[in-house]
Homo-oligomer: A and B are copies of this chain.
Amino acid sequence: MYNNKLPTIKEIARRLNVSASTVSRALHHHPSIGLVTTMRVHKVAQELGYEANKTAIYFKERKTYTIGVIIPDLSEPFFSSALTGIEDAAEASNYNVIIGQSLDNFEREKKIVENMKNHRVDGVLVSLTKETSTYAHFDSLKKYNIPVVFFDRVPNRQDINYVACNLVSGMLQAITKLVNMGHSRIGLINGPAKLAATLQRLEIYIQCLKQHHLPLNQDIIVSTTLAKADNRKAIDQLLSLNEPPAAVIVFNDYVLLDCIAAVKAAGLVVNKDISFISFANLPIWEYMESVPLASIEQFAGRQSSMAAGFLLQLINSAATPNVTEPPFLQHIIDSEMIDYTIAG
């Protein structure tokens, strides 16, 4: 049934009339094995095309040299480049990467965590679902000493490891730019209320307005569920005001794409009748006619590879016996406004 004629340490041992332990040590160039024996072992191993059975080692060492990555959606460039960053970091340390897409579905996220726990990954990197508001499913990983590092979409608490992006820097640059251009009525198209990023953007928006001594007008703050129709409704709502804002901060570039379509449909011209600054810095703007003044880059790759670094650090520190619990690894990367009026 099984093709069990794969070369193993035992087989090499049998052929050379030595013990398996000797073979194992010889293969690792252990000093207690004589040079002659070591060479003979390597020769036979070579001939047989021996390769260590990692599953046996994983089992014995209680390590799988595998990290799990849980992200909402690979089709978003942000997450696919995040994954690339993770893969690079993992490969450099000889770790494998197994992935799970939550598709922004909480139940799927839970199931993926469960699966990765069963698979005994050595650590998990997570960017949360839009729906996630409880974190008990991650606590279950502690039982197996599986460290977790969150990135970008992180829980709103401090007893975790995470890498996130500080939007203040980018948003402040954005609003400063708009003010310098003469704008004082700056609208906001925000995301769905239950998303942490939404509240965050609102707070920063308010903070930045205050910093520029601008008034806060509730009527030019609208929101969208991120669905296409809703995006258009949001911008239409702003356009239908008596005095529409001539500059709008938009939740992200995807929302903005729909907004721009709506603006055109209304017979208005982007960057003349109305200007935008958004979040994501999508590469496609380079090819578009109507573009935002700027987009705020959140550095997917940098966030994720730093998170991966944290994770590897935690994995290694868990392997060495530590008296004191290591402190939480946390870092916040500054976002940065990418100015398209300069670049292009």
Contacts and interface: CB of A to CB of B under 8 A. Distances in A.
Contacts of A59: 53, 55-56, 58-59
Contact of A98 (B2, B55, B66): B66
A321 interface: yes
A118 interface: yes
Interface in A99-135: 99-101, 115, 117-120
A121 to B, nearest CB: 9
Interface stretch (A14-22, A75-83, A202-210, A329-337): A75-83
A102 to B, nearest CB: 11
Interface in A197-240: none
Interface stretch (A29-37, A283-291, A307-315): A283-291
Given A144-B6, A289-B289, A51 B97 contact: no
B98 A52 contact: no
Contact of A54 (B6, B120, B289): B120
Contacts of A74: 74, 80-81, 83-84
Interface of A: 1-3, 6, 49, 51-56, 58-59, 62, 64, 66, 74-75, 77, 80-81, 83-84, 87, 96-101, 115, 117-120, 143-145, 257, 260-261, 284, 287-290, 321
